A and B are shown apart, each in its own frame.
Chain A
């Protein structure tokens, strides 16, 4: 390369300088490793600096997401729901529809509220960083109205439905850090359509969902 200049020894750092610089670089690397990288990637924070900087929280969220993804991979494929073409539940207030949500130990209630003309109501308390999912079993073209709100804090959510072939999902609506939503949606295909909520607000949040419309079942998915 005839256009590149031979380095002038005076321009180059001396060997002593280089060795000293290498030592400094190693020290800096150790500080960055323990102060930033380990907290931010793994939530490992021996110096407590990571928590001060907010990086340990990042690592904890990443670890949680990784664990949840691993669990999802291990879990059996959810049954593809075949909704029966039965008579749609009456929208009139006087109905006695009960939600067939699987009740685990926490607070999933099925209540008919005569005044509000909602058919089903579900209430879930989410601890910080916890997630929950409630879906409506619907046929393509069916529509449902909903409203949900929180008592305290805020939630991230996504109104969505998994594709029947199991490959991905369809998203209707999503938002972060909100206290509620009201609306209506039309099912894009046969299946279970509903809400995934995640609590990142740092305190317990109780979300109450009310729905009415063309669905055969209200299912608590997680």
Chain B
């Protein structure tokens, strides 16, 4: 093969790869935005009646362990910002031991601030905290892409980052739960049940993620596609940040 032909073939394949990348990315941003808005289905406040989970919680008093366990699990499974961060964390973790370690660090982080925040009634502006959670997704995606080593020549401790961002995720959870107005009567047992539920929801989501990753990681294209995937993850993080900051300004 003469060098001229070789370079021409390389040029074509690079172009088609770029087109492929752009096509994938172009579709994803509007899809993510749609998902973000759809997920903001919130509660419809008609007259004095709140609906859904919030409505239910405001109607009851006393200890309801299974109900709060369910609500915690639901909260985590539908909390796409928490799931995205989790995805980023385990992206390049292959051994179960490592996965368990990092997930536990995340769990310790978010449990601590969630329980403390709700029990002591410390609520932080949910737009600010959700923007920080969006930032955590961006941070992890960049970390996965090797950005910090490239830019700063230094790899920030991934375990510490997971724990610290976990604390922020917990603050986000707390601000949502405070909004639910759980009755004082039975608050602590209900809250603990909710926390257990959050962890169960986390494990369910993790299971689904690892299943997909398991298939994907066996394919030869994984390492190459992983870069694009993390880029999309970062884009999703930016959408989250933008969405929350807009909410902060507008409301």
**A61 and B207 in contact, given A11-B95, A158-B48, A177-B185 (Cβ under 8 angstroms):** no
CB distance from B219 to the nearest CB of A (A): 11
Point out the residues of chain A lying under 8 angstroms from B226, CB to CB.
1, 4
**A177 and B51 in contact, given A1-B227, A3-B146, A21-B214 (Cβ under 8 angstroms):** no
Point out the residues of chain A lying under 8 angstroms from B56, CB to CB.
58, 61-62, 65
Point out the residues of chain A lying under 8 angstroms from B230, CB to CB.
1
Give how many A residues have a beta carbon under 8 Å from the other chain's beta carbons: 45
Point out the residues of chain B lying under 8 angstroms from A72, CB to CB.
46-47, 49
Q: Is B18 an interface residue (CB 8 A)?
A: no
The reply to whether B62 and A69 contact each other, CB–CB distance below 8 Å, is: no
Residue on B with the closest CB to A36? B70
The reply to whether B59 and A4 contact each other, CB–CB distance below 8 Å, is: no
CB distance from B228 to the nearest CB of A (A): 11
Give how many B residues have a beta carbon under 8 Å from the other chain's beta carbons: 44
Q: Is B60 an interface residue (CB 8 A)?
A: yes
Q: Is B50 an interface residue (CB 8 A)?
A: yes
Q: Is B13 an interface residue (CB 8 A)?
A: no
Q: Is B67 an interface residue (CB 8 A)?
A: yes
The reply to whether B94 and A68 contact each other, CB–CB distance below 8 Å, is: no
Q: Which of A12-20, A84-92, A100-108 contacts the other chain?
A: A12-20
**A69 and B46 in contact, given A1-B146, A1-B226 (Cβ under 8 angstroms):** yes
The reply to whether A1 and B144 contact each other, CB–CB distance below 8 Å, is: yes
The reply to whether B211 and A4 contact each other, CB–CB distance below 8 Å, is: no
**A62 and B66 in contact, given A4-B146, A72-B46 (Cβ under 8 angstroms):** no
Point out the residues of chain B lying under 8 angstroms from A196, CB to CB.
48
Q: Is B44 an interface residue (CB 8 A)?
A: yes
Residue on A with the closest CB to B218? A12
Give the CA-CA distance A177 to B230 in the complex, in Å: 50
Give the CA-CA distance A66 to B44 in the complex, in Å: 9
CB distance from A219 to the nearest CB of B (A): 15
**A69 and B214 in contact, given A55-B66, A177-B62 (Cβ under 8 angstroms):** no
- Measured CB to CB, the residues of A under 8 A from B are 1-9, 11-13, 15, 17-18, 21-22, 25, 32, 36, 40, 53-55, 57-58, 61-62, 65-66, 68-70, 72-73, 156, 158, 160, 162, 169, 176-177, 196, 198, 200
- Measured CB to CB, the residues of B under 8 A from A are 44, 46-53, 55-56, 58-62, 64, 66-67, 70, 74, 92, 94-95, 144-146, 149, 155, 183, 185, 204, 207-208, 211, 214-215, 217-218, 222-223, 226-227, 230
- Can you list 15 contacts pairing A with B, beta carbon distance less than 8 Å? A1-B223, A7-B94, A21-B214, A40-B70, A55-B70, A58-B67, A61-B55, A61-B59, A62-B53, A62-B56, A65-B59, A66-B51, A72-B47, A72-B49, A200-B61
Beyond A55-B67, A66-B51, list 13 extra A-B contacts (CB 8 Å). Answer: A1-B146, A4-B144, A4-B146, A12-B217, A17-B214, A18-B214, A62-B51, A62-B53, A68-B46, A68-B49, A73-B46, A162-B47, A200-B59
